Amino acid sequence: MIKNDAEITPDLIAEHGLKPDEYQRILDLIGREPTLTELGIFSAMWNEHCSYKSSKKWLRTLPTEGPRVIEGPGENAGVVDIDDGDVVVFKMESHNHPSFISPYEGAATGVGGILRDVFTMGARPVAAMNALRFGAPENERTRHIVSGVVEGIGGYGNCFGVPTIGGEVNFDARYNDNCLVNAFAAGLAKADGIFLSEAKGVGLPIVYLGSKTGRDGIHGATMASAEFDDDSEEKRPTVQIGDPFSEKLLLEATLELMKTGAVIAIQDMGAAGLTCSAVEMGAKGNLGVRLDLDKVPCREDGMTAYEMMLSESQERMLMVLDPNKEEEAAAVFKKWDLDFAIVGETTDDQRFKVYRHNDLMADLPIKELGDEAPEYDRPWVESPKLEPVAPKDVPAPEDLGKALIQLVGLPDMCSRRWVWEQYDNLIQGNTMAGPGGDAAVIRVGDNGKGLAFAVDVTPRYCEADPIEGGKQAVAECWRNITAVGAEPLAATDNLNFGNPEKPEIMGQLVGCIQGIGEACLALDMPIVSGNVSLYNETNGQAILPTPAIGGVGLLPDVTKRVGKSFTAEGEIILLIGAHEGHLGQSIYQRDMVGEAAGAPPRVDLAAEKKHGTFVRNAIREGRVTAVHDISDGGLLVAVAEMGMGSKIGASLTPNKDIPLHAWAFGEDQACYVVTVPATSAETFAKDALSAGIPTQAIGTTGGNELTVEGSHPISLGDLDAAYEGWLPNYMSAPDTH
């Protein structure tokens, strides 16, 4: 056991993730050498994961307000008005580093943490999604990590009882040693039933709720703020252990407690555990906090103040209690067989004081710990601008049909059925459209409205041009929500990047945030919550810049929606949007030609909004029978997915003005494929053109083949076999790790 008065050496400071200048700042703040516990507290609060010290400057530039935004960034989750006195509460967070070290527990506790963020606000979780990035399939660890992460997400979410209804999965060698696990959750509440984390009132009891504190997860947040190296597996003790059954009890107990009027402020114990939750509550309310650790329920003997303050044991909350309701509140938690312990009180001195065995273990200024952590304006360089690639300069395939079959069977393009069949997407009975579509849809209450959810980013675009890549991530999420007939309301972001101390990495972060901000403004989709995950690199190799965007949209009438699959034979297939066959940074170019080169497709935000609004109105008016946006793989892949989902083929006429492979596989933005009954196709096209929407008929549904004029027919059965086969075949192979 290291004593609280242990010598603070340069090595010990470095082990806590603090730079020499940051340690000097601590000395200047407190006027003395910190105790070991104090050093641990500073380490927890001033790491990148908790303080956003490298990103705060740029995050402030994002649009966070709008007519429907009730709570924006700064709380446990964002809150958005969805009419009738209802609100949706949602957020996305990362659990990348823990998931690489211990895939099952890392992913499971990531789900648990984001669910707590939602119900801490007073909302009952109703939907979960995830955005997953894994290493190259041939990497020896990839299969092991995929298996553990997917099992962990399903194991926690299914037991807790929340439907996992959407997400995305990608593979790339840049994630070989640093997978990404971004977890999204949404909940429903009444507008007048939202609870915040700001402590109010002096001398009020601070109550510990939930499960007991153990030694798991100590320094988890600090670990998540550092690069990996070859010894990272030794960090396994920093990974928390989750218990979804305890979390379910905590949910019910917390929501019941909130009805008593006892809760003045409440905060989830997530990253940095008891330290972060206590400091944030006090600092936000301009109050001090006094904690008596002897009263904290522990599941292990002999825990030190240092261990208790830095433990990230799961299924725990902290609240400021109305003292007149103490007995009533305690009875609720006793009923649910959970710990309820008064462990401290609010004070008027703006100090954070921690006692153990009546000894003062920490005495620190609370504002400097919470609201005034270091903020850096790190040097950055703009990513070099790449020249566009002309479609004619990208080699064409020998056989269009064989190329398409190969494309839909690629690791990044194939069906994710193997993943989402391990998740319960129907529990609670409100799922109207689950995984596999452009966006998932749930029913809200009994008045007929619904919510749509999507999560998107294209990392290769972000690396090639961070600004355009950031714009495209928002635009694609917005398109996917629009494609089911929903109005996009707001978004959450999860910004995953490498080491921000490298100017080129910092430049990627700055560029992506700029692009995200431009798109959110143009598309009226403010950022209301989110997370930044930096230092995602191992032995100097950074991940691709991956700013995942999770969006929520509103359907006033959940029955007025469409899916992406064809619904009938003999319908006309229309292409909405200007389609020029952009192949730069496309899946076709990267995987079929063997090199991702040139600039990514340009994002015209005005066109995105105009085209999407037209499509959404057409859906709500019942004028279209299926909608699918064009994204990875291009137009022909989109049509193939529409056909595979329905077992209905199509006959297509390509645009002769551009090379055939560019027409087929170009990833132009602001484009949709829609189907309409033959009897109304001409009128629909005229209406679109008169509204200034580029529109052209490209074919007809029918048969069991996909036929492109001038090319050999492509069997839907062959397409489906390639599409559905890769992932289960890959995962059934022997694990080499």
Which residues does the annotation mark as catalytic? Answer: 49, 95
Rounded-to-integer distance, Cα 219 and Cα 640, Å? 48
Rounded-to-integer distance, Cα 289 and Cα 181, Å? 34
Order of strands, sheet of 78-81, starting from the edge strand that comes earlier in the sequence: 69-71, 78-81, 86-94, 180-190, 124-134, 164-171
E-only strand ranges, 636-689: 650-652, 672-676
Rounded-to-integer distance, Cα 84 and Cα 236, Å? 47
Query: Residues in the chain, how many?
Result: 737
A 10 A CB-CB count for 718 gives 17
Q: Which of 316, 298, 342, 324 is nearest to 206 (CA)?
A: 342
- Asked if 701 and 570 touch (Cβ cutoff 8 Å), the reply is yes
Start-to-end CA span in the chain (Å):
35
- Asked if 68 and 81 touch (Cβ cutoff 8 Å), the reply is yes
Q: Which of 603, 597, 552 is nearest to 577 (CA)?
A: 603
- Asked if 186 and 550 touch (Cβ cutoff 8 Å), the reply is no
Which class for 501: exposed (0-12), middle (13-18), buried (19 or more C-beta within 10 A)? Answer: middle
CA distances from 288 to 276, 453, 636 (A): 14, 40, 61
Residue type, 573: I
E-only strand ranges, 211-304: 263-268, 288-292
Question: Tokens standing for 555?
Answer: 């359907």
Rounded-to-integer distance, Cα 435 and Cα 423, Å? 10
- Asked if 479 and 526 touch (Cβ cutoff 8 Å), the reply is no
